[in-house]
Amino acid sequence: MGTVGLLVAAFAWGEEPLRIGMIGLDTSHVIAFTRLLNDTNQSNHVPGGRVVAAFKGGSPDLESSWSRVDGYTRELEEKFSVRIVDSIEELCRRVDAVMLESVDGRPHLEQARPVIQARKPLFIDKPMAASLADVVEIFRLAARQQVPVFSSSSYRFYESLQKVRQTDVGAVRAVISYGPAHLERHHPDLFWYGVHPTEALFAILGTGCESVVRTTSADTDVVSGVWSGGRVGTLVGLRAGPTPHRVIVFGSQAVAQQEGSGDYAPLVREIIRFFRTGVAPVTPRETIELFGFMEAADESKRLGGQPVRMAEVLERALGAGVPPGDFR
């Protein structure tokens, strides 16, 4: 049974829509996600939850945050009757689950702490954090409190990408993922927007990246990773001119190429299923390795394009002898 079928079945059993809270009203995602959940007239309406409360948040030193937070806050209040609260603690008292939407990854760890303490299922929008260390700490806190947490870019769940994943190409030998990688000075290079095509790369290859090397110029990054079994994943990050996104998978029997783009509805459906089941569609191990890949790319840049071993990057973040799988 598909995701929509599971949710329809849940309603047949008489389950009430989940009360959802949002943290950080400085991204267009808060309007897009709320419309999908709260507006039943939407053609791609996602049943199972309603956004009922929100905490404004905002970063005064990030133009893309402070310039938009007031407008999105008003829109949530006026169009969707969402209650704006004064603290994350108050938000948690009013809701069943939380979407952490702050466009700035830097405050995510501190914003996640009270949600995890309140034991509310938590989805964290991209980027999960502004450092690998913060990503690891969020998962540590969640594991300690046994609170389900996951993070993902919407790219992972685009129907066009899922179609590529389901195409039988034989044994996967190489993958190219290209897309936008605009920079933001408060975040490591790929964390801000390069996380999208990186997420798509990991959606195909999964865990097992062993080494990373980066070539960079003013407009473009090329980051190549070698995965277990000799598979090669290449990220092409585009910062100028057209910045389309696409994934190409090279297999032992065929080549599959992503056609078209996607929308937010598949991700929101996954979030609702996650809130109801507590089962994350992306494991902490994969998310940690994904951010490790981007951090290793930064280190390779600092080293003038030398290869960087992923095991060393992950060991520094996790501690010696603690494999990413420990967070499940």
**Residue 129 belongs to some domain of the structure:** yes
Split into its structural domains, the chain has a count of: 2
**C-alpha closest to that of 150 among 120, 117, 128, 118:** 128
Judgement on whether residues 236 and 111 belong to the same structural domain of the protein: no
Q: CB within 8 A of 29, min separation 6: which ones?
A: 101, 125, 264
Where does a domain end: 128, 154, 180?
154
User: Quick one: pLDDT at residue 9?
Assistant: 43
Q: CB within 8 A of 24, min separation 6: which ones?
A: 30, 55, 56, 57, 58, 100, 101, 102, 103, 104, 107, 111
**Residue 323 belongs to some domain of the structure:** no
**C-alpha closest to that of 189 among 295, 106, 63:** 295
In the chain, which stretches have pLDDT less than 50? 1-14
Judgement on whether residues 172 and 102 belong to the same structural domain of the protein: no
What distances in angstroms separate CA 266 from CA 21, 30, 148, one per listed residue? 19, 15, 19
Judgement on whether residues 122 and 176 belong to the same structural domain of the protein: no
Query: Do residues 104 and 23 touch, judged by C-beta distance below 8 A?
Result: no
User: Quick one: pLDDT at residue 146?
Assistant: 96
User: Quick one: pLDDT at residue 5?
Assistant: 42
User: Quick one: pLDDT at residue 319?
Assistant: 82
**Residue 283 belongs to some domain of the structure:** no
Query: Do residues 293 and 225 touch, judged by C-beta distance below 8 A?
Result: yes
Can you give the CATH number for the domain in which 294 is found? 3.30.360.10
User: Quick one: pLDDT at residue 4?
Assistant: 37
Residue 256: domain span? 155-264+288-318
User: Quick one: pLDDT at residue 284?
Assistant: 96
pLDDT digits (tens, 9 = 90+) for 220-237: 999 999 999 999 999 999
User: Quick one: pLDDT at residue 15?
Assistant: 74
Judgement on whether residues 144 and 247 belong to the same structural domain of the protein: no
Judgement on whether residues 166 and 311 belong to the same structural domain of the protein: yes
Strand duo 220-227 + 209-216: pairing: antiparallel
pLDDT digits (tens, 9 = 90+) for 234-272: 999 999 999 999 999 999 999 999 998 899 999 999 999
Q: pTM for this structure?
A: 0.92
Judgement on whether residues 248 and 227 belong to the same structural domain of the protein: yes
